[in-house]
Amino acid sequence: MTLKLTGTVAIVTGASSGIGEATAKELAAHGATVAVVARRKERLDTLVTEIEAAGGAAFAIAIAADITDRAQAEQAVQGVVDRCGRLDVLINNAGLMLLGHVVDTDVEEWERMIAVNQNGLLYMTKAALPHLLTSARDDLRGVADIVNISSIAGRQAWANFAAYNMTKFGVNGFTEALRQEVTKLQVRVGVLEPGAVATELVSQNSQKVQDDLAASDGAAIPVPLQPVDIAESIAFMVTRPARSSIAELWAMPTSQA
Ligand code: NDP
């Protein structure tokens, strides 16, 4: 059976949990060979086993890499191209959300967050782009894709979120500028901005920050999105016909105004 992504090769960063893990499964179910990238290799190995057992994808590849290290990001991309011969889709999903008042926050936490949310995304994109441009010119789909996972925090700013807001507003700006540079070369560049999704993301914060967040006005989201909801939206973006480019998708839980 020919699926919409049959013959394509996709990289998903931050695939060891949450949105990235669900996205890898979703793209594989559409027929893509999926390379899953994160630091926790044992989780990636389990995911590869699950993807291959589910059928759909030709195969999956686990790549342990810290994308904040430019050499590791470049090697991750090159390793995929060496092994698979092409690259069609890059999902820049890896991210950290470290919250807190500016006056109380360690600068080191900001640096870690900027390193993943912005530098890692830049390194992966820069390394992948020549290969995506090549795939966009061939006959398989006549198009290639980058989807950057931003956030509602790339659209709205709140107290406690200042540095995270800065990283995600930055992702939105970079995405739109790059979109204008390469869309007419058939590389579609889109940004997806989720509201609250039930993942491990908040657990990277101290218990105090998590308690403060839970107690703050408007913080409680009764029914957050599930990772599969975002994965399906990403799959929608990258399976449009070659004539159609989704530049922005804002995906919210119904219970989060
Ligand atoms: P998770 O914490 O479940 O996933 C984050 C992923 O990023 C993990 O797989 C982690 O893997 C990876 N990662 C972190 N640092 C690095 C690094 N240095 N190198 C490689 N991979 C790294 O959270 P989500 O699934 O929720 O987050 C995914 C994206 O969605 C993020 O960009 C986040 O900002 C965004 N988002 C999430 C929302 C939510 O409510 N959950 C809402 C809006 C946006 P490992 O630790 O193994 O390296």
Please write the tens of the pLDDT for every residue from 80-118.
Answer: 999 999 999 999 999 999 999 999 999 999 999 999 999
What do you get for the CA distance between the two ends of the chain, in Å? 41
Burial of 177 (0-12, 13-18, 19+ CB in 10 A): exposed
Q: Write the pLDDT tens digit of every residue in 117-147.
A: 999 999 999 999 999 999 999 999 999 999 9
Residue range 144-161: mean pLDDT, rounded: 97
Note the pLDDT of residue 256.
92
Per the document, the length of the chain is: 257
pLDDT band at 56 (very low <50, low <70, confident <90, very high): low
pLDDT band at 168 (very low <50, low <70, confident <90, very high): very high
Spell out which residues line ligand 1, taking CB within 6 angstroms. Answer: 13-20, 38-40, 66-68, 93-97, 116, 120, 149, 151, 194, 196-197, 199-201
Share of the chain above pLDDT 70, in %: 97
In sequence order, which residues have a C-beta less than 8 Å from that of residue 97 and are 6 or more positions away?
113, 151, 153, 164, 201, 202, 204, 205
Task: Show me where the domains of the chain are located.
Answer: 9-249
Q: Which two tokens stand for residue 67?
A: 């994308």
pLDDT band at 220 (very low <50, low <70, confident <90, very high): confident
> In whole angstroms, what is the distance from residue 89 CA to residue 165 CA?
26
* 67 Cα nearest atom in ligand 1: 19
Q: Write the pLDDT tens digit of every residue in 198-212.
A: 999 999 998 988 888
Q: Which two tokens stand for residue 202?
A: 């908040």
Note the pLDDT of residue 218.
60
pLDDT for residue 257 is more than 70: yes
Tell the CATH topology of 9-249: Rossmann fold (3.40.50)
pLDDT for residue 216 is more than 80: no
pLDDT for residue 149 is more than 90: yes
Best mutation site among 168, 199, 250 for ligand 1, i.e. most ligand atoms within 8 A of its Cβ? 199
Question: Which residues participate in catalysis according to the annotation?
Answer: 164
Residue that the structure tokens 């990403």 belong to: 234
Best mutation site among 17, 77, 191 for ligand 1, i.e. most ligand atoms within 8 A of its Cβ? 17
